[in-house]
């Protein structure tokens, strides 16, 4: 936004200072009458103008909102539950520690064990890395609000949190699509599986998935950074997210709303459609297998992936529907649900793969048995 003109019209000068509601960065003039001198002073950054007492002063104020970004925001937390913050923080901290431990162990096993250097586990290592980013982006700051009353976050810190929150969400969705393609090739074209999903192809797929997510989310940072924030700096949430921050701006946010709605929606919907097509073809191939044992084995290899898909997309769809149609649902519920969404899936995903995937389950048992024997 460039320079704009704000005309106040004719102002009769009373005995008080007309102080702008914007903060000190907007160099607005104000009017002050000194009763003993009978002279009105119009003070601005351009100098001091005098006017006889009783005379109306016409003001024209120039606002330069080109780069009016705040130094910090205040994260309100969960309004109405302040007295329970200490107790609410305990399960969040427990879930976060489970997510850190589970994903770290899974990532360690995949990196260190050469028998797990297969396409399926390369995708799984990406998923665990992204889950670590997702929960670490939000949960520590939330615990700081609950336990340390650390409500303040700098503007660059808010933009950084906003970027990694949305970026990790889109990478997760893209990885689930990649894993669906992996299962499709393994079940529908097993003879071509190793020739198609070579290490070089997997690296290209990974770069493409991350690059797509980066290119979708990076414009969001600049869409927020361009906005002037001249009203409240209080964010009614425990972390920074795109539309929640944009709504604090004193400017038109139509572009933010349309981009924040249309582009992510098209991206996620396209992922869901392609995942649905993949599993339709997989089920079709499975039910054409002659042996019941072969069917059960093929379905069991997809069980963990389907569970993760449901855990990831179901809360996302529920949250989107409640924000759109659940106008009577308390704001406290939305905030609590949003915090659970960034904490629970990263904690459950390694447990699901550890329980349902025999290779990982055996490696985890061997890891802890060897540590116990030492």
> Would you give per-residue pLDDT tens digits along the chain (374 residues)?
443 333 334 344 333 333 333 333 343 433 444 444 444 444 333 344 444 444 444 444 444 444 577 888 999 999 888 999 999 999 999 999 999 999 999 999 999 988 888 899 999 999 999 999 999 999 999 999 999 999 999 999 999 999 999 999 999 999 999 999 999 998 888 889 988 999 899 999 999 999 999 999 999 999 999 999 987 889 999 999 998 899 999 989 999 999 988 888 889 899 999 999 999 999 888 888 777 777 777 777 788 888 899 999 988 888 777 766 667 888 888 899 999 989 999 999 999 988 888 888 888 888 887 766 66
83: tokens are 């007295």
Using an 8 Å Cβ cutoff, are 48 and 29 in contact?
Answer: no
Strands 72-75 and 234-235: parallel
* pLDDT at residue number 271: 94
Nearest Cα to 349, choosing from 303, 301, 304, 298? 304
pTM of the model: 0.79
Q: What is the rounded CA–CA span in Å between residue 341 and residue 269?
A: 19
Helices 155-188, 292-325: inter-axial angle, 10-degree rounding: 150
* pLDDT at residue number 227: 92
Using an 8 Å Cβ cutoff, are 235 and 142 in contact?
Answer: no
87: tokens are 């107790």
Q: Give bridge partners of residue 10 from the DSSP assignment.
A: 58
């Amino acid at each position: 936004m460039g320079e704009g003109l704000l005309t106040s019209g004719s102002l009769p000068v009373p005995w008080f200072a007309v102080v702008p509601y914007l903060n000190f960065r907007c160099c607005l003039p104000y009017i002050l009458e000194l009763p003993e001198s009978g002279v009105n002073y119009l003070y601005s950054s351009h100098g001091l103008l005098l006017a006889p007492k009783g005379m109306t002063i016409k003001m024209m104020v120039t606002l330069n909102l080109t780069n009016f970004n705040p130094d910090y925001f205040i994260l309100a937390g969960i309004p109405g539950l302040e007295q329970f913050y200490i107790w609410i923080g305990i399960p969040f901290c427990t879930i976060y520690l489970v997510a850190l431990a589970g994903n770290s162990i899974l990532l360690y096993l995949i990196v260190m064990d050469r028998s797990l250097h297969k396409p399926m586990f390369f995708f799984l290592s990406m998923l665990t890395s992204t889950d670590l980013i997702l929960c670490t982006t939000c949960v520590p700051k939330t615990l700081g609000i609950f336990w340390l009353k650390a409500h303040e976050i700098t503007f660059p810190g808010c933009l950084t949190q906003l970027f990694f929150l949305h970026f990790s969400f889109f990478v997760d969705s893209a990885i689930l699509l990649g894993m669906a393609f992996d299962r499709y090739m393994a079940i529908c074209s097993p003879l071509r599986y190793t020739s198609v999903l070579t290490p070089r192809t997997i690296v290209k797929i990974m770069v493409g998935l991350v690059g797509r997510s980066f290119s979708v989310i990076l414009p969001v940072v600049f869409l927020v950074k361009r906005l002037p924030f001249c009203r409240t700096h209080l964010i009614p949430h425990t972390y920074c997210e795109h539309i929640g921050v944009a709504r604090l701006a004193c400017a038109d946010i139509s572009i933010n709303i349309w981009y924040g709605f249309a582009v992510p929606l098209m991206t996620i919907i396209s992922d869901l459609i392609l995942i649905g097509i993949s599993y339709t073809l997989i089920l079709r191939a499975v039910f054409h297998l002659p042996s019941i044992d072969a069917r059960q084995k093929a379905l069991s290899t997809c069980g963990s992936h389907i569970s993760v898909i449901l855990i990831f997309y179901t809360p996302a769809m529920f949250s989107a529907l409640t924000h759109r149609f659940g106008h009577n649902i308390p704001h406290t519920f939305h905030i609590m649900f949003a915090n659970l969404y960034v904490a629970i899936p990263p904690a459950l995903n390694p447990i699901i793969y550890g329980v349902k995937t025999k290779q990982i389950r055996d490696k985890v048992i061997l890891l802890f048995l060897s540590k116990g024997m030492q």
